[in-house]
Amino acid sequence: MAKVILVINPGSTSTKIAVFQDKEKMFEETIRHNPEELKDFDWCMEQVDYRKHLILSTLAEKGVVLSELSAICSRGGMIPPCESGAYRVDQQMVDYMYSVKKGAHVSNIGCVIAYQIANTVGIPAYIYDPVTVDELVPIARITGLPEIQRGVIGHTLNTRAIAMKCAKEKLGKVFDESTIIVAHIGGGISVRLLQNGRNIDACNDDNGGMSPERSGGLPALQLIKLCFSGKYTETELIKKIRGNGGLKALLGTSDALVIEKRIEQGDQKAKLIYEAMAYSIAKDIGQLAVVVGGKVDAIALTGGIAYSKLITSSIAEKVSFIAPVYLMPGEHEMEAMAAGTLRVERGEEAVKSFSGIVQNTVAS
């Protein structure tokens, strides 16, 4: 019997939903949210009822009968560091989301909405490859200060989905027996090394290259001086390096299309900085290749900016000696969540429990 899966992906000003029948996408819809209405909410968790109502209205308009759904999957929120894969949403996870006050991300509401809708028809709700997936090997966590350890957070969902797709379609290999480096190139950029199904090392936006809106790793002494310059509060400086850094700070815009147009018109500064971003991505790929002695099966470039020939050709020119470079542009989050849920529903992949994450976090 076919599995009918509802996928929910909340963003800052929109909520994407899609319904899949097995692997086939029946429809996808982006629900736009009026910024004026969002201003009424002081905390993202206050938006649950507002967004749930819009989701249910849209499903009704599309003729989706909730009782015909097999499962619901939402993009995972800021749960504690965890392994990749599927997690069953339960009341403990929902309660945890409501306990997160500082730094709460809008994706936190997704699992709550999924859980509430699923409960009305008695079906399971899941999250898949949440942003807090952290599978770094112990040696990769060590820094030169005992107070600071490296971790990873970010584009697991799209990155891991692309690695699976690359292994199957480009290499003809099993994902769990492959070594693939994936560079997700979007508003944020992360480069990840996946070996035998696990993300064993990564270059994040705080220790890797710059991106359209983030500064990337910075010289420590200069950053410390900036922190104590008196020019910025902690909140302002975080926003400066994560949101107002990178291309936005250096060129006044984070829009790659605008920058490429400026380059076409002869803007040499834009050309240099755009090339510097590609240069830094290539460096991150090289760093990760060294970790496995250069034994990499493939390098995949994904994300929205992977559509840019200027960026991808510059990166490929520098790293193709390591392994074949495959262009797999775009974001595949909806498909990734649906595919993961389908594997769980078919019994091909085990589902994990949120309580296990909490126990591990307390133990550590």
Confidence bin at 37 (pLDDT 50/70/90): confident
Mean of pLDDT over the chain: 93
What sign results for the dihedral spanned by CA atoms 282, 131, 159, 177? positive
Place of tokens 């945890």: 96
Encoded amino acid at 281, one letter: I
Q: How far apart are CA 2 and CA 61, in angstroms?
A: 22
Binned at pLDDT 50, 70 and 90, residue 303 comes out as very high
User: Where do the domains of the chain lie, and which CATH numbers do they carry?
Assistant: 4-133+333-363 (3.30.420.40), 138-327 (3.30.420.40)
- CA atoms of 139 and 181, how far apart (whole Å): 18
Instruction: Give the lowest-confidence range in 75-79, 230-234, 243-247, 287-291.
Output: 75-79
CA distance 309 to 256: 11
- The yes-or-no verdict on residue 155 having pLDDT over 90 is no
Q: How many CB atoms lie within 10 A of CB 39?
A: 8
Query: What three-state secondary structure class fits 5?
Result: strand
Q: What is the DSSP string of 214-245?
A: B--S--HHHHHHHHTSSS--HHHHHHHHBTS-
Q: 38 falls in which pLDDT band (50, 70, 90)?
A: confident
Measure the CA–CA gap between 190 and 216, rounded to whole angstroms: 10
- Cα angle 321, 326, 327; round to 5: 130
Query: What is the chain's length?
Result: 364
Which pLDDT tens digit goes with each residue over 313-331? Answer: 999 999 999 999 999 999 8
How much is the pTM?
0.90
Q: Is the pLDDT of residue 117 over 90?
A: yes
* Structure tokens, 117: 């809708």
Evaluate if residue 358 carries a pLDDT over 70: no
In angstroms and rounded to an integer, the radius of gyration of the C-alpha atoms of the chain is: 21
Measured CA to CA, the distance from residue 39 to residue 149 in angstroms comes to: 36
